[in-house]
Amino acid sequence: MIETLVTGFGQPLILWLSVFYIISEAISIYDTRLIQWKKLGDIPKDTPTPPPWTAFFGISGWLTIIVIFFLNWPYALALMLVVFLLKVMPIMETFGKIIISPFMRVK
């Protein structure tokens, strides 16, 4: 079982897909949390919002993990677990904020 998880790091396609999955999930999580905060009133309404094309990252994250699942399903499950744990902690959210901050616009 451990060998199949380790072989995921040795395959360049799975490695690049994993990086893309982590980046797309980070942007998607930050966008989702920003919408939630605005609805709850935790942040001012005039806070800059991400552009509409960031919704693409939510869909691409799911498509990427499906492809990784077909290539190496134990690795995909482990990756989903790690990303879930980072979602619960604000690490992915902070990473998404850093990535998307140059594209933020004020309404």
Whether the CB-CB separation of 31 and 50 falls below 8 Å is answered with: yes
**What is the number of domains present in the chain?**
1
Q: Which residue has the tokens 């800059």?
A: 48
As beta bridge partners, residue 83 has: none
Tens digit of pLDDT for each residue in 81-102? 999 999 998 899 999 999 998 8
Tens digit of pLDDT for each residue in 36-63? 888 888 887 777 888 888 889 989 999 9
Range of the domain at 54: 2-103
Q: Classify 105 as helix, strand or coil.
A: strand
The dihedral sign for the CA sequence 65, 67, 70, 72: negative
